[in-house]
Chain A
Amino acid sequence: MEATIALAGNPNSGKSTLFNALTGARQRVGNYPGVTVEKKEGRYELNGIKLNIVDLPGTYSLTAYSPEEVVARDFLVDQRPALVVHIVDAANLGRNLYLTLQFLELGVPVVIALNMIDVAVERGIRIDAEKLAHLLRLPVVPTVARSGKGKEALMEAVAAVVQSRAPIDPLFISYGNEIDPVLSELGRRIQAAGFLTQRFPARWTALKYLEGDEQVRALGAKADPRLHAELEAAVARLADHLQSTADTYPEAVIADQRYGFISLILKQGVVTRTGDLNRLFLSDKIDQVVTQRFVGPLFMAAVVYGLYHFTFGISKAPVAWVEGFFGGLKGLAEAHLSDGPLKSLIASGIIDGAGGVLGYTPLIMFMFFGISLLEDSGYLARVAYMLDRVFRAFGLHGSSVMAFVVSGGIAGGCAVPGVMATRTLKSPRERLATLLTAPFMNCGAKLPVFALLVAAFFESHEALVMLAITVLAWAGALLVAKLLRVTVIKGAATPFVMELPPYRLPTLKGLLIHTWERTWQYIKKAGTVILAISILLWAMMSFPQLPEVVQAQFEERRAAVLAAAPAEIAAEMAAVEKEAGEGVELSEQAQAVKEQLLTIEAEKAGAALEHSIAGRIGRALEGVSALAGFDWRTNIALVGGFAAKEVVVSTLGTAYSLGEVDPEESGSLSEKLAAAPGWRPLTALSLIVFTMFYAPCFVAVVCISREAGTWRWGAFSMIFNTLLAFTLAVLIYQTGSALGF
């Protein structure tokens, strides 16, 4: 026998912990269609019953205001799971049962897992589970998800309900003498007309009309416009009546009555308290320090810095391993494949691409681990609480700070994990604005570009420029966020109303599972797209190749240099080349010859780049880009920077016929730029600003698209950011030129 059951509950009730305890590593993570809400499924077997457990998103209610709620409700209605295991925080019974009632009104069988019994006991709350079970007429099983206590008993109860397959009638709650008659009347009409009855119980539909539920009303308007209009009219009459007689709304009365129903149940000896309800617990004492007016912000700065350091400092070694591994692989490919496009494809297209994909994984892993730790312990909610006032002014959310800092709010981050860090943000508009602006921060890949330009033109003001760059990124991100929130993502602030959960010690297992799932999702889903795009970019930079004649010319020059050299030198060079020996000491003369050959190579690479698609784009754009002070070489470099910002440096090197310049050691290039015609400090400033704001690297774009749920936002960030950056760069360059800089 097989059955699907759903796991539901308020956020912070221990739902993920229970899910992990039940399913262990046998989980599948995906997304609900069309939304970015995570969907987790796992399996559990008991007495020959195969249970497919679906972890619904944590919600407080089953309205249709957030994607989480819509997803949870649609799943219950459309997939009809055999039952819902509702994880209830025993220390918070009243508020949690509010959701239970909504499951029962929908006619879904419920088994309650009375979780956090240990916390309740510690707080002097005693709950009579049997009595609760009796009053609600459903199984109630005490559990401690953290230790796995009670999970067998819980699953026995689940199995019993699944096996009995007894259909249950939706719970009938009385909503008082104003609402009840209307509700019954509407319910009757709905039933008679068969209005949406395939999906919802009739009385429930009526109730949703009274509550003004957008989703149900939209469905109703489509299904039967006439009855829909009648229902709306009846609701409006009731609303007017309640407004004039009691100055209240139908939905308010309904909520009051539900809570009334709950307190009636709880009063029958279900909950006994020893000690004061509002006593200060350890958690409150921690808060008195950690959110204190002066200590709070300092502590928060330390924690945020700690997260940054954890993500980028500790992951340095694994990142180096990944880079080393792919570097070695590339070396092997270069040594064993014969020259030509295939070698270039494998070495520079595929291996570099795959290295690029996996190079981010340590960052993503450490970031998710750190953020999960903050989230599960309850501290992230405090960050949102303390910073809300600041970020709200820009249409953002207090927890936006995490995404900004990881993206490079402290210079040197990375937008890829930064964009993913917005997952903890539950307010949709605020989240979108955050993930679109986080890439303005100065990620580690932009820094070599800045370093190059600063070294070339602002050597004496290095520290000042670097500070200005950080301030500018923050100002830009916040102002653009504000701009987006009053234009393309406009809409009122999502209500902040939020629980500050008690501090809890997360379990290592929970953190690891969480981290791994999300990282794997990145590798699997984003990885393939990223690999494909990086091959495409490689092709753009390599094709079309130089015409045969031109290649032959370079070959001739090479041959000429070798021919001009004395015979023994030529022999020495050939010998060295055969052994591919780097370490071999060359004689002085041979060294000179080698330099000449390298110069020719570099010139050839420069010519090839100019001839490629990227080069042609760069040339074609010169007319426009001159407004910002960029010549075609800079343009090509910026096109290359779409692969990863530090590529700007190496591409600029190739374009200036210096060969591949190592972004970390760009001294030769900065000398060249400082002396190059057309370059002056103003050009550098314009380029710094452009690099900061233009299209995020494509890896970030892929992640933005995935996090936002549609490619449109990825495309938006490329186009909008580039236009913005160009406008700023032109402004700077033209104003500066006019002022004589």
Chain B
Amino acid sequence: MTRQNLRKLTERQSAVIAAVKADGELGRRIRDMGLVPGTVVTVCGRAPLYDPVALRVMGYTLTLRNNEADYIEVVVED
């Protein structure tokens, strides 16, 4: 089990969210979309310029920018 930044996940890799270190509007948006500790996320693609990233969360697809993903810490099963 390693704890790391969401940005570092590679394509098709899954992880469990450990913490969301953002407050204010960004924090709110992230949580509204169901990205809270305990949620499983899978990277399902990146835009042609490698940013934003597309994630699969709770059965739907979500996209956020890399610099927004930086606020999210995840735990990856080794």
* B contact residues vs A (CB 8 Å cutoff): 14, 19-20, 23-34, 36-39, 42, 44-45, 47-52, 54, 56, 58-65, 68
Decide if A91 touches B60 in the complex (CB within 8 Å).
yes
In the assembled complex, the CB of B8 is this many whole angstroms from the nearest CB of chain A, namely 18
Query: How far apart sit A385 and B61, CA to CA, in the bound complex (Å)?
Result: 12
Question: Within 8 Å of chain B (Cβ to Cβ): is A252?
Answer: yes
Query: How far apart sit A501 and B47, CA to CA, in the bound complex (Å)?
Result: 16
In the assembled complex, the CB of A425 is this many whole angstroms from the nearest CB of chain B, namely 16
**Are A284 and B20 also in contact (CB < 8 A) when A252-B31, A388-B52 are?**
no
* A contact residues vs B (CB 8 Å cutoff): 60-61, 63, 65, 91-92, 94-95, 98, 123, 125, 212, 247-249, 251-252, 255-256, 259, 277-278, 283-284, 287-288, 291, 293-294, 296-297, 381, 385-386, 388-390, 392, 494-502
Query: How far apart sit A284 and B61, CA to CA, in the bound complex (Å)?
Result: 9
Query: How far apart sit A291 and B47, CA to CA, in the bound complex (Å)?
Result: 7
B contact patch SS = mixed
Instruction: Count contacts between A and B, CB distance < 8 Å.
Output: 126
Chain A residues whose CB sits within 8 angstroms of the CB of B62 once the complex forms: 497-500
Decide if A65 touches B51 in the complex (CB within 8 Å).
no
Q: Which of B19, B49, B64 contacts A498 (CB 8 A)?
A: B64
Decide if B48 touches A296 in the complex (CB within 8 Å).
yes
Q: Which of A125, A284, A390, A495 contacts B25 (CB 8 A)?
A: A495
Query: How far apart sit A258 and B34, CA to CA, in the bound complex (Å)?
Result: 10
In the assembled complex, the CB of A261 is this many whole angstroms from the nearest CB of chain B, namely 12
Decide if B34 touches A259 in the complex (CB within 8 Å).
yes
Decide if B19 touches A249 in the complex (CB within 8 Å).
no
Can you name the residue of chain B whose Cβ is closest to the Cβ of A94?
A: B58
Chain A residues whose CB sits within 8 angstroms of the CB of B50 once the complex forms: 389
Can you name the residue of chain B whose Cβ is closest to the Cβ of A287?
A: B45
Query: How far apart sit A282 and B62, CA to CA, in the bound complex (Å)?
Result: 16
Q: Which of B23, B47, B65 contacts A249 (CB 8 A)?
A: B23
Decide if B32 touches A98 in the complex (CB within 8 Å).
yes
Decide if B51 touches A389 in the complex (CB within 8 Å).
yes
Q: Which of B25, B48, B60 contacts A95 (CB 8 A)?
A: B60
Decide if B34 touches A249 in the complex (CB within 8 Å).
no
Decide if B45 touches A291 in the complex (CB within 8 Å).
yes
Decide if A247 touches B49 in the complex (CB within 8 Å).
no
In the assembled complex, the CB of A64 is this many whole angstroms from the nearest CB of chain B, namely 10
Q: Which of A95, A293, A392, A502 contacts B34 (CB 8 A)?
A: A95
Q: Which of A61, A255, A381, A390 contacts B49 (CB 8 A)?
A: A390
Chain A residues whose CB sits within 8 angstroms of the CB of B27 once the complex forms: 249, 251-252
Query: How far apart sit A91 and B56, CA to CA, in the bound complex (Å)?
Result: 13
In the assembled complex, the CB of A245 is this many whole angstroms from the nearest CB of chain B, namely 14
